Amino acid sequence: METNKMAERPRRKLKLFKWIAAILLFVVLGLASASWYLSIKLKPIIGKELRALVRTSTHGLYSLDFANIHTNFITGTATIGEVRITPDTTVFKQLIAAQKAPNNLYYIRLKKLSVKRFKPWSIYFDKVVDVKLLLFDKPEVTMVNRHFDFNDNLPPRPRKSPYEYIAKLFKSLRVEVVDFKNMKLKYVDNNGPVPEIDSLANMNVTLKDWLIDPTSAQDTSRLYLLKDIDINISDYTYATPDSMYHLNVHQLDFNAKSGKLSLKHFGAVPRYSEGAFARVAGYAKSRYHIQLDNLVLNGIDLPAFIQKKALYANDMHIAEGNVSVFRNSTFPKLEKVRTGRFPQQLLQKLDLPISIKKVSLGNINISYAEFSRRSLQKGKITFEKTSGTLSNMTNMPKVKAVQPIMQADLQSYIMGQGKLEISFKFDLNSPIGAFSYKGNISDMDGRKLNQVSKALGLMQINKGTIKQFAFDIAANEQEAKGQVKFRFSDLSLTLLKKEEGEEWLKRKALLSILANALVIRSDNPDSTGKFIIAPVQFERKPTSSFFNFIWKTLFQGVKYSIGVTPQKEAEIRAKIASFEQMKGDREERRKRRQERREQREREEANR
């Protein structure tokens, strides 16, 4: 009897489990059926309400169209296929007339829009929409920008609360995350006579905590109803309009809440080698190769950039990088007027309004190389471990009125040795591009400069120590004035020449001896303690570039300091002319002697 009872218990448990399983299966099937039924019945209602919501909340500016909707109320998911969001240009014109039009129009198309993890019962019973994720997968977005003055200085919030458009349907509408994955963005700038178009791919945009409720439109911690925005771009390449460069960005990250933009591995890469660049350009065009790593902008004003395409930021940091410039001067020069192209003047001409309070540089290596027409050799000068700051980088009129000076304070090491400290001050309001610069180079072996002086100056520094090279110059588009204090010792030079058919440069032995003996100062101050301060007054040619102007101004001070004054230059030219005359006379006498010798030989042969 007891045995029968014990055998009965497992059978009862099994039967109970079967009943429970049957009930659960019935519930699941019931829910699935209800979900399917609701999907069928509610699909046209949902579609109608979505279209109406988009149209109403944008004042009729945008319309939503799609091919199909699939919903699953059990899992709280939905997908919308073949989505199109397009603006109505007629309504846009009406909004312009009413001064209520936005600066940007958007055209959006995608294969599928996914809505994940929403609560259908809360929507039905509580009138609260709470969606965890809204996913736009591989969308194609066209953004058309046209700036309107009436939008300036508007807060980053809707003019009218969107809650008014949903109040009859819902108490609140929240989407925790809106993801645009692998987006293609085409940007059309309609602010000029001809539209300018740019494109981006591999772009990800994440919008966080989008909320419409009675108070969200007035929430100053929100940006266009959002708590935050993250943007990521990977492996972006842009070919410049002149087809000479590729601009590359390995990775870009931006966060709206902090206003922080990070760029890793930004490069301006020439499409042609040093040998081919000028040949493709057709003239002696400078070739730039720029690679900057870990570039960071802080405090970016995103609403200003969206509304009027203006870049406002607190500071910018460039941790390290390389900038190399090469020029092949064997090609023809492109003689054009470069007046109005100083740094502060170019900044004022930028289409992009910009204001960055401070730019910090660290460990930037800069080089300039040139293949000389005269020497057929390549000369190069380097500025290594360049660092410093640039303050008040702006082309904004209000900022300039408060502080009209943009200042750069830099330090570097010439040829990795001589320490250079230099400070520039640019007058942002000057109609003639006024600026000043002063600085100092100290403790350098002069022979280090042979890498540039031999090829580009046809001069070799045999020995010499640069103790100090100090300068203080005020300049504008027309001229530069100031002084140079050049302290050096034990200076000796050799003048060089290029002879046709010869690979290497040859010494001008006699002229070098004359220059060192009669012209060049070997020391400044000299043995008596006399120190020469070189006055500088240099007139700029309209075709000279900014850096060429600086170089030639300082070189005038160098020449004066080592003894090559205008008077000495005249003496040198006279001595060279005299030497060339003597050389010519000697050649003439040698020629006559040769002719007489040949004449005697002919006469003896005829006897």
pLDDT of residue 43: 55
H or E segment to which residue 378 belongs: strand 378-394
pLDDT in tens, 450-499: 998 888 888 889 999 999 999 999 999 999 999 999 999 999 988 888 87
Compute the distance between CA of residue 363 and CA of residue 351 in angstroms, rounded to an integer.
30
**Predicted confidence band of residue 45 (pLDDT cuts 50, 70, 90):** low
Q: What is the mean pLDDT of the chain?
A: 84
Q: What are phi and psi of 341, to 5 degrees?
A: -125, 30
Strands 378-394 vs 405-414: parallel, antiparallel or unpaired: antiparallel
Q: Measured between alpha carbons, how far apart are the two ends of the chain, in Å?
A: 165
284 token code pair: 């002696």
Compute the distance between CA of residue 208 and CA of residue 257 in angstroms, rounded to an integer.
11
pLDDT in tens, 376-389: 999 999 999 999 99
- Non-local CB neighbours of 474 within 8 Å, separated by 6+ positions: 434, 436, 480, 481, 482
Q: What is the mean pLDDT of residues 248-256?
A: 93
**Predicted confidence band of residue 438 (pLDDT cuts 50, 70, 90):** very high
pLDDT in tens, 148-158: 888 887 777 67
Compute the distance between CA of residue 11 and CA of residue 3 in angstroms, rounded to an integer.
13
458 token code pair: 């046809």
> Higher-confidence residue: 441 or 564?
441
HSE-up of 42 (CA within 13 Å, CB side)? 16
Return the minimum-mean-pLDDT range out of 254-258, 264-268, 308-312: 308-312
- Non-local CB neighbours of 486 within 8 Å, separated by 6+ positions: 466, 468, 469, 470, 524, 532, 534, 557, 558, 561, 562
Helices (H), 290-412: 302-308, 343-349, 397-402
pTM for this structure?
0.78
Helices (H), 459-522: 509-514
HEC-encoded secondary structure of 190-243: CCCCCCEEEEEEEEEEEEEEEEECCCHHHCCCCECCECEEEEEEEEEEEECCCC
341 token code pair: 């192209």
pLDDT in tens, 76-132: 788 888 989 999 999 999 999 998 888 889 999 998 888 887 776 677 677 887 888
Residue 375's alpha-carbon distances to 95, 121, 213, 327, 427, in angstroms, are 66, 85, 75, 14, 39
Asked whether residue 40 carries a pLDDT value surpassing 60, the answer given is: no
244 token code pair: 């000479």
- Non-local CB neighbours of 187 within 8 Å, separated by 6+ positions: 143, 145, 197, 198, 199, 200
pLDDT of residue 517: 63
